[in-house]
Amino acid sequence: MDEIIPHPPKGARSTDKELIVVTGSSGRIGYGLIKRLAENYRVVGLDRVGPPYPPKEAECVNFDITDEEAIDSAMERIRYGYGSKISSVVHLAAYYSFNTKESPGYEEINEKGTHKLLRQLQDFEVEQFIYSSTNLLYKPQDPGTKVHEDCPVEPHWAYPRSKLHTEEFIRKYNQAIPAVFLRVAGVYTDWCHSIPLSQQIKRIYEEDLISHFYSGDLNHGSVFVHLDDVLDAIIRTIERREAIPDETPINIGEPVTPSYQELQDKIGKLIHGKKWKTYEMPEGLAKAGAWMRDLFGDPFIKPWMIDRADDHYEYDINRAEKMLGWKPKHALMDTLPTMISHLKDDPEKWYKENNLE
């Protein structure tokens, strides 16, 4: 029997609060979401066996999303403690790594794991299934062209490809549960907690030589969104579940995309008091350099990333505004001073928060 902590309060079935199930509940988004949801809902978190556990506001049911029997045991625990009616399942559990372009985890966890979870949910009365997807499944566009939900999809590596495949599976096979696809941009916080952003800041902070070079177009960039705004979007999606059509994709991100050059200049100014000189590097030379660094160490920039350096995304969030009444309250360029202030005040903690050496 899977470990369960703690038991739901006595009489949990009779409460008027609706039940929300959150997978990936110990992750950064899941942890913050549970704390927010617990104010108005009963919440059960599903995550890997062992610590870290989600907030005390929720019951944690340990499960392995790649193991159908483990999922079945977890769902039986939910049925026993809370009944068979679930207002919303927020599916955040996923595999994601910058260390490799391809990995079995993308298929086993993101695709097959979601398939197994959905099969188990068919025996419940589930009003909504929220799937956390990504902006990276879209075809990159030129600056000035905003990506809306009906734009072409063209994922270029295993992570976004696994997200697209799972969306397609849900559309094809999931008949009983209304689904929403939140295509979430790159998430950051006041302490950064964004892998590409933290690496970029680290290179400039340490005055690394490679911080002055970029293998893509300096006027290109990617779309981001603050964690607090993501939590707000998910909660609004739950609250408005009856009004959202089945299988609706919704972009969740900031409507303004800063270019790589703008980020370099602002980070350099905030850390060193000056704009950061950055030069475009030919792709072939960049790949050779990344290959050499990868050969003699474990650098963040891998050779396969060079091909993606030119990708550019800007988000059209009109659908989120209309359906959810949502638009972000934060902006990355406005949050950078807070990020850098935390770095300067306590570099050791900042590095630890961002899993940097």
The pLDDT of residue 48:
83
Residue 259 in contact with residue 270, Cβ under 8 Å?
no
Say if residue 46 is in the same domain as residue 108.
yes
- Which pLDDT tens digit goes with each residue over 106-144? 889 899 999 999 999 999 999 999 999 999 999 999 999
Say if residue 171 is in the same domain as residue 216.
no
Say if residue 230 is in the same domain as residue 204.
no
> Could you tell me if residue 160 is inside a domain?
yes
> Could you tell me if residue 273 is inside a domain?
yes
pLDDT under 50 in the chain at which residues? 1-14, 282, 284-298, 302-306
Domain endpoint, select from 252, 269, 301? 252
Domain with 74 in it: 4-188+224-252
Burial environment of residue 144 by CB neighbours within 10 A (0 to 12, 13 to 18, 19 or more):
exposed
Say if residue 15 is in the same domain as residue 32.
yes
Say if residue 116 is in the same domain as residue 156.
yes
> Could you tell me if residue 182 is inside a domain?
yes
If one counts the domains in the chain, the total is 2
> Could you tell me if residue 171 is inside a domain?
yes
Task: Tell me the CA distances in angstroms from 79 to 8, 64, 120, 121, 241, one per residue in order.
Answer: 12, 18, 11, 11, 22
Q: What is the C-alpha to C-alpha distance for residues 207 and 234, in angstroms, rounded to an integer?
A: 38
Among candidates 323, 161, 327, which has minimal Cα distance to 228?
Answer: 327
- Which pLDDT tens digit goes with each residue over 263-307? 999 999 999 999 899 987 645 444 334 434 443 344 555 444 445
Q: What is the C-alpha to C-alpha distance for residues 64 and 321, in angstroms, rounded to an integer?
A: 35
Say if residue 68 is in the same domain as residue 167.
yes
Q: How many CB atoms lie within 10 A of CB 57?
A: 15
> Could you tell me if residue 228 is inside a domain?
yes
The pLDDT of residue 4:
39
Q: How many CB atoms lie within 10 A of CB 281?
A: 18
* CATH number of the domain bearing residue 57: 3.40.50.720
Q: What is the C-alpha to C-alpha distance for residues 14 and 10, in angstroms, rounded to an integer?
A: 9
- The structure tokens listed for 228 are 């607090």
Say if residue 170 is in the same domain as residue 201.
no
> Could you tell me if residue 326 is inside a domain?
no
Say if residue 162 is in the same domain as residue 214.
no
Q: Residue 193: left (phi > 0), alpha (psi -120 to 50), or beta?
A: left
> Could you tell me if residue 46 is inside a domain?
yes
Say if residue 11 is in the same domain as residue 158.
yes
Say if residue 13 is in the same domain as residue 128.
yes
The pLDDT of residue 309:
66
Say if residue 153 is in the same domain as residue 24.
yes
Say if residue 116 is in the same domain as residue 200.
no
